[in-house]
Structures are given as C-alpha cells and as structure tokens.
Structure 1
Amino acid sequence: MNATVDIVIEDDRWLAFGLERCALRAAQAVLGHLGLDPALFQAVVMGCDDARITGLNADFRDKPRPTNVLSWPSEERGSEYAGEAPALPAPGTQDDPATLGDIAIAWETCAQEAADQGKSVDDHVTHLLIHGILHLLGYDHIDDDDAALMEETERRILETLGIADPY
C-alpha cells in the first residue's frame, strides 16, 4: 500500500526533481521496514530553498544557517532509554491516516552535499527523507547509542533500495 505524503513545493526545482516520487519511496521504505502499513500513516514534506530553511532553523533550533532537512514530529515518540528503538505509533485508517509530522528539505544544501560527496541528488535526498521520517517516528542521534541505532536503521533501509551506505 502507498504511504500518504502531502507535498508542499516552495521551490520549483523540487517539482522538476520529483520530490513527491522520492518522498513516497522513502516513506514506504521506512514504514515497510518497521512492519507498518504505509497506507495508514501520513506526513507532510515541504521542498524549499536555503533561505526558507535558514529561517526555520533559526526559529525552531536557534541556528540561523541553512541545513539539509528539518523535521517536526506530531508527537514525542522517542524511547526513554538510549539505544532502544522507539515504540511504533498507532496506525490510522486508510480514510484517516495517523499523522507523523512535517519535514522541510532545502534544495541548494542537498544538491551541494550530493555534489561534494559524489552521490546522485536522488540517492542523497532519499537518504535525507528516510532520516527525517525516522525522526518523525522518534529516532534521534543526540546520544551515541541513539545515533548508532538510527544510522544502522538507515543503512538497512537504504540497502533495500539499492542505495550505498552513506556513512
């Protein structure tokens, strides 16, 4: 089943890139990997530019500089124990999928990072969207044990998509 991903395009380069296709692919891969029915969950992905994400990063993280991806979970889902996977969210229905939260992704930063790392923009953006969706599901990387769990989860999901280990 398809995940529900609502796309907001604030920079037309994302439209030309195919952000919706990429976001759906990432959402289905993450939710499927975790044993969740993608049709029962919903997220919003906004494709923006560096100027917009700089403002968001300043407002929400007090870091007035561009970043590649930001996420806002609809609720706190993290585990209380470092290195432990978060509890899986309760599903919604096909008519009313459970809301996971919102993601913003910035074109210039993503394209530059992909070029600097010798990756395709598609593979890099897919990885960043997987990363963002995992944040919506309660994964984090502040603590070393949590970071190890999140990175390993990303690696496994990316492998199912034929994308090389980004770490």
Structure 2
Amino acid sequence: MEPGSRRPGRVSAGIRAGGGEITVLLASPGWRAAVKRPELLARRAAAAALREAGARGAVTVMLADDAAVKRLNGRHRAKAKPTNVLSFPAGAPGYLGDVALALGVVRREARQAGRKPADHFAHLVAHGALHLAGHDHLDAGEARRMERAEARVMRRLGRPNPWKDGAAPLRGRAVA
C-alpha cells in the first residue's frame, strides 16, 4: 500500500481546498493498478477545479467499479448502464456534493482515445467537481465555458488539454 492510503472501502481524507475537505472513497481497489496514487490525483484535480470555479465547500469523490456506477446511473438518471462520471450536487451549506467514477469505463475511454488513464481520470474528476461548482454543458455556450475551465485545470495539473485534437464530448452529466 502507498503511504497515506487506506484499504479499499475506506475513506481517505485529504487536502483542504477552497474552504472544504476533499474526501476520496476507494470503493474499487483496481484503481491503484490503473492510476498511480489515485486518491492523491483525485484530490488534486478536484481542488484545482474548485479553485478554477471559485467554489468553496467539501466534496467526496468515490472511485468505484462499473457495477456501482451503473446502479447509481439507473437510480438517479434511469439509464441502465455505467457512465464515466456522475456528479451529485448536495445543495447543503459547506458541502458541494459527490462525484463517482467508473473504473472500467474510464479505462476503456482512455484506451480508445489514446490517452494515459491518469490524464483521463484527472480530467473526469475535474469535470465532476466543476459540475458541483455550478458548471454545465447543456447548451453550446455553457459547454464551451466548461471546456475552457477544464483545459485551465488540466494545465495547472501539468496534464494535456483534453479538448485538443477533437476530443469527443463526455457522456456523464450532473445529477440533480
């Protein structure tokens, strides 16, 4: 195990960002094989996204398998399939909400796009955190603003711009 990490299924509290704690729940141990130090990268990506959006509050990121995200997607969006990332805004003072990522979907998308899994993962965590901060991509103008915010977050993390070379749009979206 990595220093500072916890066994699967345990909560890993981390850095404070914008006035709130970013907590990572490692629900699927396969994340450690796919992404080096996934808890740390998730915290960094979420913190950078919250700073970009000027948002303050706590966030929980769940690193799950496809089955868990499929259940969430079915329950909250009536879609019987896993998706890459889901965001659940909390609407509670001091708590922005939750983000859930599906390991298999993230791996497949990264492979299909010719991207490093860690880069795709960081982008999706940032995408989910930006949803919690109020960003969306329902219309073209909103989508462009969100894509530019994601590109700035990725640059701050020292990772490539996910929207260069005609990247495909993300399938996940915020859940109200």
User: What is the TM-score normalised by the length of structure 2?
Assistant: 0.75
State the one-letter code of the partner of 1:113: E
Q: Could you tell me how far apart the structure 1 residues matched to 2:82 and 2:45 are?
A: 22
**Deviation of the 1:24 alpha carbon:** 1.2
Give every structure 1 segment of 4 or more consecutive aligned residues whose post-TM-superposition deviation is greater than 4 Å: none
1:86 match: none
C-alpha offsets along residues 65-96 of structure 1, whole Å, 9 cap, x if unaligned? 110000101129xxxxxxxxxxxxxxx8xxxx
Task: Write the deviation string for residues 48-70 of structure 1: whole angstroms up to 9, x where unpaired.
Answer: 11111111111111111110000
| Residue 87 (structure 1) aligns with | none
Q: How much does 1:162 deviate?
A: 2.1
Which of 36, 42, 53 is the aligned partner of 1:23? 42
Deviation of 1:35 (Å): 4.4
Kept in 2, the 8 Å contact 1:5–1:20? The answer is: no
**Mean CA deviation greater in 20-29 or 98-107:** 20-29
Structure 1 position 70 matched with structure 2 position 66: no
| Contact 2:106 2:121 survives alignment (8 Å) | yes
Q: Which runs of 5+ in 1 are unaligned?
A: 77-91, 93-97
2:105 to 90, 93, 109: 109
| Structure that is richer in strand per residue | 2
- Please say if residues 9 and 15 of structure 1, whose CA atoms lie closer than 8 Å, have aligned partners that are also in contact: no
Higher relative contact order (CA 8 A, sep 6+): 1
SS in 2 for 1:138: coil
Aligned 8 A contact 2:84 2:101 in 1:
yes
Measure the CA separation in 2 of the matches of 1:146 and 1:35: 17
Match of 1:13 in 2: 30
For the residue of structure 2 that corresponds to 1:101, the secondary structure is strand
Match of 2:95 in 1: 99
Q: What is the letter of the counterpart of residue 140 of structure 1? A: D
Between the aligned partners of 1:31 and 1:45, the Cα distance in structure 2 is 13
| 2:159 pairs with 1:163 | yes
Where in structure 2 are there 5+ consecutive unaligned residues?
Answer: 1-14, 164-176
Aligned residues: 144
| Alignment correspondent of 1:47 | 63
Q: TM-score, normalised by structure 1?
A: 0.79
Name 1:81's counterpart in structure 2.
none
> For residue 141 of structure 2, what is the aligned residue in structure 1?
145
Give the partner amino acid of 2:76: F
The CA RMSD measured in Å over matched residues stands at 1.9
Identity %: 39
